[in-house]
Every structure is written in structure tokens, then in C-alpha cells.
Structure 1
Amino acid sequence: MQEDFLHYIWKHKKIQINKLKTANGETIIVNTVGHHNLNSGPDFFNAQLTIGNQLWAGNVEIHLKSSDWFLHNHEKDKAYDNVILHVVWEHDTDVFRKDQTIIPTLELKGFISEGVLDNYEKLFFKPNKWINCEYDFASSDDFVLNNWLERLYLERLERKTKEIEALLTASKNDWEAVLFKMLAKNFGLKVNGDSFFSLAKSIDFSILRKSQSDQQTLEALLFGQSGLLNQETEEPYSISLVKEYQFLKQKFKLENTHVLPCYFFRLRPSNFPTIRLSQLASLYYEHQNLFSEILETNHLDHYYKLLKVSTSKFWETHYTFQKKSKLSKKVLTKPFMDLLLINTILPLKFCYAKQKGEIINSDIIKIAVSITSEKNSIIDAFNNLKKVSKSALDSQALIQLKTAYCDKNKCLQCAVGNALIIK
């Protein structure tokens, strides 16, 4: 038995609410259960209860055993002077006020149905499961699950908002600079994400702005700061980039000592850092006011047109500076554009609207529902239990569900867990 479960039972009145009696036999009528307090102090504030013939207004404290009151030293804490009811699983001792009158105690043991207890035990205490509701997730109600996933998606956007706000603080509220940093990280994917992010942080956005009217200058800036121009080569294009970068480095006093190295190992050629940096340079070359264009765009097809860029001409016949390859136009693919939308553009638009006091949840949700579901181990595992992930909204929500709820055993705060306990 966990104390959180007793909080859940009291908060949602999952008890025989019309039959409640104190340990001394007085009837209890619950007018309001109070406001759940997640900080220090009594567990529920401002409850209203009728105990016997007396109406009480005050706080409710919950423990597994009555004796936990003394174990936690509540008798010495003034914050507990206004407790009107002690709710426990097992009543093993009386608890007194300072005037030596007994604080009424409700022992929950006899007021919770066997079915709810069995469901609780089944959910929490069967070992070796990927998630607690692994054996019952497939039976979850579609309406409950779909509504919960939408809430989880917005919750995940809120979490990402905090990360964006931290970047805004570091960038002195420069939204363009934050967009560049986030895009750079996502262009690097998992292998080079941290490297590209450190690269973006090493360049003041004003320098990129001054360089974006020339595609080769942009590539020289990005390749030079990344350290990819340090290798010896006789390739004319590479040599021209080196000369351009040396000029930029001196002009803008650039430093790249804290930029993490890029990796090629175990990457598909299309994901080589050379290709992704050239595409990132093309995006900023072709769109001089990228942040404004993103804010003005509200349709998925328009986003695809905005993001449909390719490398510069040199990279159509190269994957590295050292070796020529078969001619191929290396454009951003739809799955890659989807990742940029999911991880950068939609969270940034959500955060920007929030800071402006605007609510665009429905617009964001409409786009997220139109994007294909991501594929990863978490999504695959959920889909093996129940075919649930049909869109990017679903896949992002399921990632939030697994990491913020399942992994932390927060089943009592989960709509699916709630439904399974009371079914």
C-alpha cells in the first residue's frame, strides 16, 4: 500500500462515501474533500466535513498508519493544528490536539471496495513489466485514451517551452537566435545534435545574419566553426571555403574551441554532417526571415514548401571533401522535415504564442495530427500492446506518457491508470 493511493482515494471519493464513520463510530459527511496540497503541510487544505452533528472546516492529513503522525513529528508542528480529520489505512493509535481532544480518524480499510483494491494490486505489484498496465493497456477505452494523449501532447509542449525559455534568457530574448540553435541541434540528429548545438552557440546570430546573403559564405562559416575545414585537401571548393572562413574568423573574432567534434561513423551518407550543414546553410540562404515565415505559416503543406531545401551544388557530387560521388540532388526528405516540425517549429510556435498571451493549441494540434507518427522503441512497444500511434501527436504523447508517468510509477495521475483501477 502506498500513501499516494490513499490521497487518490480521498481526492476522487473512491470510497463508500455515504457510509463513512470515524474510528469512534461518528458519521462523516464529506461536503468538500479540500484542495490537494503537493507542498509541505497537511495533505488537503480547506475541507468541509460534518462529523457527528458538528460542521468542521479545516485540513485533512493522510497516513498509512495513525502512528505515522508521531513518526513525522506533526504534534510539534503548528501547520497541523487545524487538522479536522486524520485519514489512514490502519488506525493503530489515537492522535490528540494541543488541548488534548482526539482528532477524529477515518480508517479506510473497510470503506474501499475489493475490486478497487484488487485492481490497484494488479497494477502496481506484478514484477517484470515494461509498464505497470502492460497486460491491460489494450483494453483501455479509446475515448479516454485519445483525450489523455491530447493532454499529454500539450504537456510535452509545456515541457519543451521551459527549454526554449532557457535559450531565450541566454539569447537575450532573440527568437531568431533560438530558432537557429534549435534547428542546428535537430539537423544534427542524435549523433551530431550536441555538436551542431555547440556550433550554433559559438556564432552570434548577427554574424549569421550578415553572412546569409551568400550561400558559400554561410557554408564557410558553418564548416569552419565545426572544424570540418581542418583536414588537408586539394579540392578547390574546400580551399575557397578555408580562405573565406579565415577572413570571417578574423573579421568577427570567431572562436570554436568549445565546439564539439562532428562524427561520420555509423551514419548513412545522407546524414553526414557535411550534408546536413550544407542544407542548414541553404535554408538560411533561401529564407532571409525564417522566423517570421514560420510564424505566418499555419498549414502543413506550406511548411513542407518552406523546408524543401537541398545542398549547394558541390555536395550534389560529394558526401565528404575528399571523395567524389555519384550525382544526386540531396533535398530534405519529408520524414526529416517532420522531425524539424515536431521538435523545433511547433514547440517554438507554441512557446511564442504563450508569451504573447495567445492560445493556438487547436492550430498546433491540427498540424501535429497531420504529421506521420514517429518510429522508435517506445512507440513500437506501445503499438505492440495496442495500435495507438497514428500521428506525431500520438507519438509525442506516448513518449511523454512513458517518461513522465510510466517510468515514475505515476499511474494514479494517469487517465489510463485511473480507469483501470476503478473499472
Structure 2
Amino acid sequence: MREDFLHYLWKFKKFDSLNLKTAKGEVITVLKIGDYLELSGPDFFNAHIEIGNQKWAGNVEIHLKSSDWYLHNHENDPAYKNVILHVVWENDTAIFREDNTEIPVLVLKDYVEKEIIENYSALVSPKTWISCEKQLKDVDRFVFASWKERLFLERLERKSKFIYDLLEETNKDWEAVLFCLLAKNFGLNTNGNSFLQIAKSIPFSIIRKESFENENLEALFFGTAGLLNVEKEDIYFKDLKFRYFYLLHKYQLERTFVEPLQFFKLRPDNFPTIRLSQLAGLYHKYQNLFSKVIDLKAVDSVYNLFAVSVSNYWIDHYQFDKESPKKAKSLSKSFLDLIVINTIIPIQFAYSATLGETDIENLMDFMNEVAPEKNAVIDKFNSFGIKSKNAFESQTLLELKNEYCNHKACLKCGIGVELLKNN
């Protein structure tokens, strides 16, 4: 038994509400269950309940055992002073207010049908990849579609927290926020944190000033990444190293050290040397990238805007001192799809939210144009008959798996609630 199941029972009145009595035999009439806010403090706020002949307005607290009240130290928390009913599964001790009056208790298990408990157990108990995998494809399409929209919004809100943190760190400079976000996502999963550290280590005002010389940007990026710390005979390497130390002196920058960049198991086109050169090329090409990114509405416009390649040296190199066959190494469409998903859509959402102008419909339309991600989670959903046609659908499935299924949060999930209701 889990406490969230008791929340579900109370929220949807899945109990015999016509014959309720307190543990001491007083008749209970629930006039209003209260607002389920999922914040700190009591579980349901502003409930209206009649106990005996007395009407009460206040809060409802729910626990598996009544003794959990003391286990959670509610007796010392002023937020619980207005609790008018204690709803529990097991009543193992009496709970008293500050004035020594006892808080009425409703033992919920006495009023819940056995079938509801069995259906809940059947939903959350199986040791499978996700609890509802055998029933998922049979969920009402309208319910599933509505829940996907909610998941998409939740995912963007969660990603926005990171963006707002960057906004504070950069003194509300949206260009600098975009630079940090792009750097992180140019590094992909393997080098994302290191790339973010690089971006944070270089004041964006310097990026602005030096963007007119691509070699200076590469010198800053490669130097901060620690890739210029050794000695090599390569002429371009020596030039970048000279530029890097000149720029350190020019701007009175301290040398910083980031997490070592990883090359192992990466495809050559994803080597950090290539991605850093492409990032430098992007900021050499555009001095005001943020305004352009905010105006993007379709995936083709992204491909056009981000049509950048590596500098001349990296056309026939993947690492310093090692020549390779010539290749332009432009940003691929599959890579730019990830940039749309992880950078462009989140920063558009976060920026518009600060203006109070969020248009989730347009963002959904944008994502519907983008190809879905390819990973083990999406493949697994596909095996259950849930196929992702675009990035909107794959993103919502990732949110569903990571934020709900992995935590067995079936009773907070629109799909789980629907399945339990149908059962």
C-alpha cells in the first residue's frame, strides 16, 4: 500500500461516501474534498466536512498510519494546525491538537471496495519495464493525446529551470544563455558538461568582441578545454596556443580547468575538436544569434540558419597532428534535430514565458516537424505498439518513462488513472 493510492481514493472519492464514520463513530459527510495542491503542508486544502452536527472548513491530511503524523513531526508544524480530518489506512494511535482536542480520524480501508484495491495492485505490482505495458496500446486515443500535451508542457517547464538558472548566472543576458545551452548540447551526452564549463568560463562579452576572427574563438574554446596544454609541431596548433595565451593576457583571464574531453567510443564527426570548431564557426557567422533563434518557426529554417562547417584546418583533421581525408563536416540534419529539441524549443518556451506570451500550440507544431529521437526507450515503446512519428511524440514518451513510470507514479499519470478507472 502506498500513500499516493490513498490520495487517489480521496481525490476521486473512490470510497463509500454515504456511510462514513470517524473511528469514534461520528457520522462524516464530505461536502468538498479540498484542493490537491501537492505542496508542502497538508495534502488537501480548504475541504468542507460535516462531522456529527458540526460543519468544518479546513485541511485534510492523509497517511498510511495515523502515527505517521508524529513520525513526520506535524505536531510541531504550524501548517497543520487547521487539519479538520485525518484520513488513514490504519489507525494505530490518537492524534491531538495543541489545545489537547483529538483530531477526528477516518479509517479509509473500511470504506473501499476490495475490487478497487485489487485493480490498483494489478496495475502497479508487475515487475515489468512499465506497469501498464500490456494495456498501453488500448488506452483511449483522446486520453493519451491529452496526456501527451501535458507531458510536453511538463518537460519544457522542467528544462526551463536550468535555463532560468543560467539567466541569473549571466545577469539576464539571453545571448549568453543561448551560448551556454548550445555549447552543452554541441557536446552531446558525452562531453556536454565539459562544453558547458567551457562556455561558462569565457565571459560572453569576450565572445562578442572576438567573434570577428574565427581563429580567436577556436583558440579560446580549445585552450579552455585543455586541448592546448601539450607541445606539438603542428603549425595551426602553435598558432592557436599563441592566440590563447595572448587573449588570456588581453582580458586578464585566469586559466580554468574543465572536465577532460572524451574521444573514446565517439564517431569521428562527434569528436569534441570538430564540435568546438563548428560552435566557433557558428558564433563567427552570427553576432546576434539569439534574436534569430527566437524567430525560428520551422525545422527547415533551422537547417538554413545553422548551415555552418568547421574551419579549414579541420576539413582534413579530426585531431591535431593527424591528417585525414578531406570532409566538410557540416552540421548534419540529425544533429540539428537534437539542437531543436534540446536548445531551440526550450529557450523559445522559457523566453516567451518570461514575457507571459507562451504559445504551446506553435511549439508543438514545430516539434511535429522534427524527426523522433532514436534510443532504447523509444524502441521499447515501439515494441508495445506505441510508435513515435515525430519529436513531439518521442519527447512525451521520454517524459512519461523518466518522470512517471520509473517512479511507479501511476496514480499521478493520466494513463494510469484512466486504466484504473476502466478496470
TM value normalised by structure 2: 0.89
Letter in 2 for 1:163: F
Aligned residue for 2:318, secondary structure, equals: coil
Question: Are residues 291 and 54 of structure 1, via their aligned partners in 2, closer, same or farther at CA, if it must alter by over 3 Å?
Answer: same
- 1:46 is aligned to 46
Give 1:103 deviation, angstroms.
Answer: 5.4
- 1:18 CA drift (Å): 4.0
Q: Which residue of 2 aligns with 1:356?
A: 355
Aligned partner of 1:384 in structure 2 is 383
**Partner Cα distance (1:64, 1:269) in 2:** 55
Counterparts of 1:232 and 1:93, CA distance in 2? 73
Change (3 A) 1:325 1:11: same
**Residue 237 of structure 1 aligns with which residue?**
236
Whether 2:114 is the aligned partner of 1:122: answer no
Question: Match for residue 301 of structure 1?
Answer: 300
Q: Is the 8 A contact 2:30 2:49 kept in 1?
A: yes
Distance 2:37 2:408 in 1: 19
Query: What is the CA deviation profile of residues 33-81 of structure 1, one whole-angstrom value per residue up to 9, with x for unaligned ones?
Result: 0123645654323211344554333333333345656776777877656
Residue in 2 aligned with 1:12? 12
Aligned ranges 1:156-171 → 2 under 5 Å? 156-171=155-170
The AA in structure 2 aligned to 1:298 is: K
3-state SS of paired residue (2:212) = coil
Alpha-carbon distance between aligned partners in 2 of 1:40 and 1:229, rounded to the nearest angstrom: 50
CA contact (8 A) 1:199 1:260 kept: no
Cα 1:54–1:300 change in 2 (3 A) is same
Rate the CA distance shift 1:234–1:19 in 2: closer, same or farther, 3 A. Answer: same
How far apart are 1:318 and its partner, in Å? 1.8
CA apart distance, 1:394: 2.2
Paired position in structure 1 for 2:60: 60
Following superposition, the deviation at residue 253 of structure 1 comes to 2.7
1:34 alignment partner in structure 2: 34
For residues 319-339 of structure 1, give each alpha carbon's deviation from its aligned partner in whole angstroms, at most 9, with x where no partner exists.
Answer: 222122222221101110011
Task: Output the CA distance in 2 between the equivalents of 1:245 and 1:53.
Answer: 81
How far is 1:413 from its partner?
0.9
Aligned to 2:213: 214
In 2, distance between residues paired with 1:66 and 1:337?
Answer: 54
Q: Distance in 1 between matches of 2:98 and 2:182?
A: 61
Question: Residues of 2 paired with 1:97 and 1:197: CA distance?
Answer: 51
Residue 319 of structure 1 aligns to a residue in which SS?
Answer: strand
Q: For residues 61 and 246 of structure 1, what CA distance do their matches in structure 2 show?
A: 62
Give the residue type in structure 1 aligned to 2:13: K
Instruction: Label 1:259 to 1:24 Cα distance change in 2 as closer, same or farther (>3 A).
Output: closer
After superposition, give the CA deviation of every residue in 1:321-374 in whole Å (9 maximum; x if it has no partner). 212222222110111001111111211111111112222222212111221111
For 1:163 and 1:71, the matched residues in 2 are separated by 34
Partner of 1:112: 112
- The CA distance in 2 between the partners of 1:168 and 1:115, in whole Å, is 51
**Structure 2 match to 1:133:** 132
- Once residues 411 and 82 of structure 1 are traced to their aligned partners in structure 2, the CA distance between those partners, rounded to angstroms, is 30
The amino acid across from 1:418 in the alignment is: V
3-state SS of paired residue (2:89): strand
2:187 matches 1:197: no
For 2:143, the equivalent position in structure 1 comes to 144
CA distance in 2, matches of 1:77, 1:292: 48
Q: Which residue identity lines up with residue 391 of structure 1 in the other structure?
A: N
Structure 1 196/39 Cα, relative in aligned 2: closer, same or farther at 3 Å?
Answer: closer
Partner-residue secondary structure (3-state), 1:16: coil
Tell me if the contact between 1:226 and 1:256 (Cα under 8 Å) persists in the aligned partners. no
Deviates more, 1:307-316 or 1:138-147: 138-147
Deviation at 1:175, TM superposition (A): 1.2
The 3-state SS of whatever aligns with 1:297 is coil
Give 5+ residue unaligned stretches, structure 2: none
TM-score if structure 1 supplies the norm length? Answer: 0.89
The one-letter amino acid of 1:295's match is I
Instruction: Note closer, same or farther for the CA distance 1:228–1:7 as it changes in structure 2 (3 Å cut).
Output: same
CA drift of 1:293 comes to 0.9
Q: Which moved more, 1:228-237 or 1:183-192?
A: 228-237
The 3-state SS of whatever aligns with 2:48 is: strand
> How far apart are the structure 1 equivalents of 2:307 and 2:56?
66
Name which of structure 1's ranges 329-338 and 214-223 shifts more when overlaid on structure 2. Answer: 214-223
Letter in structure 1 aligned against 2:372: S
Matching residue of 1:267: 266
8 Å CA contact retained: 1:225, 1:255: no
Do 2:248 and 2:255's aligned partners in 1 also have CA atoms closer than 8 Å? no
Query: CA separation in 1, counterparts of 2:163 and 2:94?
Result: 51
For these two proteins, the number of residue pairs brought into alignment is 422
Residue of structure 1 in register with 2:280 after alignment: 281
Report the 3-state secondary structure (helix = DSSP H, G, I; strand = E; otherwise coil) of the residue aligned with 2:244.
helix
Amino acid at match of 1:111: Y
How far 1:315 sits from its partner (Å)?
A: 1.8
When the two chains are superposed, the root-mean-square deviation of aligned CA atoms in Å is 2.8
Mapped contact 2:298–2:369 kept (Cα < 8 A): no
DSSP-derived class of the 1:85 partner: strand
Residue 225 of structure 1 aligns with an amino acid whose one-letter code is T
Of 155-164 and 292-301, deviating more is 292-301
Counterpart-to-counterpart distance in 2, 1:321 and 1:197 = 22
Give CA-to-partner distance per residue, 1:294-317, whole Å, 9 cap, x none. 112222211111112111222222
Over 3 Å counting, the alpha-carbon distance change for 1:254 and 1:401 in structure 2 is: same
CA contact (8 A) 1:20 1:28 kept: yes
Specify the SS of the correspondent of 2:317: coil
Q: 1:261 to 1:72 in 2, by over 3 A?
A: closer
Cα distance in structure 2, aligned partners of 1:101 and 1:236: 84
Relative to structure 2, which stretch is displaced further, 402-411 or 238-247? 238-247
